[in-house]
């Protein structure tokens, strides 16, 4: 993508002020020519507190009020999954660019509707899957695309932790799109899709909570030439949370918490290992923010990295896994 030479300050808004919004706002403060202008929560008190903490100009007790503020260029949506479509459409209808937290919506039909609306309004929309924009992940994608160590033979990727979430948390609530698959399973699936593409066949099994959402999910994606991706998400146990690409002439391992800022270890065919440190100084959300800001300044309406087609593939694959394990919302 050709970068715009403009250094226009991008005024941001945030809808939904939970844990991930705090991380996003913290990193937004590190981005040049970007400003947190307004925030919105269903609680004005919470919004006011958040605005003060991150130096926002204005706080609202309604999402509609924020979306109608003419000074806002872009809104980051950090509400629970089930509200993503509704919140995104609100912003797009008001001509405001949207960076919507992953998963973009609950199922493929909703994603199609959101993309269609963005195209109709000629407004930028992008799924906020921050991993795609992190330097270590882009490095690995480049190594794999260049076949530095030959073709991929197998991928193993997992994301698991023993959840301390209270039983009242959104992650356990079916009505809010809870469960491990949509919350954290999306990351191992993303690792497979971004390197191997859509699988030819999916095998999956899950364990379920008494609230009828998945507490863990084990998946095997089959590709041509006997290539497989072995993927896992879990709220029941601490797992390595690594992504390991076994290639013909070596192994590339994205170390623990592969989806966030981390290191990459490479072992060549002779067993020689090296570890690359990317010297991250932030939580990591600044990279997707900078990409989105550049798209806006260049008057783009779609990302050349997190494309609409990729977001469609991602939600379609999540839908396929859900059908396989019998998870219905």
Predicted confidence at residue 1, as pLDDT, reads 46
Q: Is the pLDDT of residue 276 over 80?
A: yes
Predicted confidence at residue 170, as pLDDT, reads 87
Predicted confidence at residue 6, as pLDDT, reads 78
Closest by CA position to 25, among listed 8, 4, 47, 43:
47
pLDDT digits (tens, 9 = 90+) for 160-214: 999 888 778 888 999 999 999 999 999 999 999 999 999 999 999 999 999 999 9
Q: 135-277: what CATH class?
A: alpha beta
Q: Is the pLDDT of residue 284 over 60?
A: yes
Average pLDDT, the chain: 96
- What are the tokens at 175? 């009505």
- What are the tokens at 59? 């706080």
Identify whether the C-beta of residue 296 lies closer than 8 Å to the C-beta of residue 138: no
Predicted confidence at residue 2, as pLDDT, reads 45
What residue ranges of the chain are covered by domains with CATH 3.40.50.720?
10-131
Identify whether the C-beta of residue 131 lies closer than 8 Å to the C-beta of residue 124: no
Identify whether the C-beta of residue 74 lies closer than 8 Å to the C-beta of residue 12: yes
Strand (E) or helix (H) holding 222: strand 214-222
What residue ranges of the chain are covered by domains with CATH 3.30.360.10?
135-277
Q: Is the pLDDT of residue 5 over 60?
A: no
Residue in this structure with the two tokens 């509707």, named with its chain if needed: 113
Identify whether the C-beta of residue 34 lies closer than 8 Å to the C-beta of residue 288: no
Q: What are phi and psi of 324, to 5 degrees?
A: -65, -40
Q: Is the CA virtual torsion 52, 56, 60, 61 positive or negative?
A: negative
Q: Is the pLDDT of residue 262 over 90?
A: yes
Q: What is the mean predicted confidence (pLDDT) over 240-252?
A: 98
d(CA 284, CA 124): 22
pLDDT digits (tens, 9 = 90+) for 96-149: 999 999 999 999 999 999 999 999 999 999 999 999 999 999 999 999 999 999
pLDDT digits (tens, 9 = 90+) for 49-94: 999 999 999 999 999 999 999 999 999 999 999 999 999 999 999 9
Cβ-based neighbour number of residue 326 at 10 Å: 12
- What is the full DSSP assignment across 41-103? -SSHHHHHHHHHHTT-SEEESSHHHHHT-TT--EEEE-S-GGGHHHHHHHHHHTT-EEEEESS
d(CA 263, CA 2): 29
CATH 3.40.50.720 fits 10-131, yes or no: yes
Cβ-based neighbour number of residue 176 at 10 Å: 18
- Write out 156-218 in H/E/C secondary structure: EEEEECCCCCCCCCHHHCHHHCCCHHHHHHHHHHHHHHHHHCCCCEEEEEEEECCCCCEEEEE
């Amino acid at each position: 993508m050709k970068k715009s030479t403009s250094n226009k300050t991008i005024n941001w808004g945030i809808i939904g002020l939970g844990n991930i919004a705090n991380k996003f706002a913290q990193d937004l403060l590190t981005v040049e020519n970007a400003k947190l202008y307004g925030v919105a929560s269903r609680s004005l008190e919470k919004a006011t507190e958040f605005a003060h903490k991150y130096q926002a100009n204005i706080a609202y007790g309604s999402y509609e009020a924020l979306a109608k503020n003419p000074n806002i260029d872009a809104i980051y949506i950090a509400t629970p999954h089930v509200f993503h479509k509704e919140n995104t459409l609100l912003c797009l209808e008001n001509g405001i660019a949207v960076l919507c937290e992953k998963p973009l919506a609950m199922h493929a039909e909703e994603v199609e509707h959101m993309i269609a609306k963005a195209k109709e309004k000629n407004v930028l929309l992008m799924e906020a899957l921050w991993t795609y924009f992190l330097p270590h992940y882009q490095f690995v994608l480049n190594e794999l695309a260049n076949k530095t160590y030959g073709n991929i033979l197998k991928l193993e990727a997992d994301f698991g932790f023993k959840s301390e979430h209270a039983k009242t948390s959104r992650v356990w609530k079916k009505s809010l799109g809870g469960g491990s698959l949509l919350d954290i399973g999306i990351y191992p699936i993303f690792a497979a899709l971004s390197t191997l593409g859509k699988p030819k066949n999916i095998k999956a099994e899950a364990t379920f909570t008494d609230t009828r959402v998945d507490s863990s999910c084990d998946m095997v994606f089959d590709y041509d030439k006997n290539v497989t991706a072995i993927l896992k998400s879990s709220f029941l146990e601490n797992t390595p949370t690594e992504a390991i690409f076994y290639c013909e002439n070596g192994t590339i391992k994205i170390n623990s918490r592969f989806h966030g800022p981390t290191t990459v270890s490479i072992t060549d065919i002779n067993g020689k290992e090296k570890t690359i440190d990317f010297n991250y100084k932030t939580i990591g959300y600044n990279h997707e923010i900078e990409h989105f800001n550049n798209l806006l300044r260049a008057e783009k309406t779609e990302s050349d990295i997190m494309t609409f087609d990729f977001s469609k593939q991602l939600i379609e694959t999540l839908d396929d896994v859900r059908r396989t394990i019998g998870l219905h919302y």
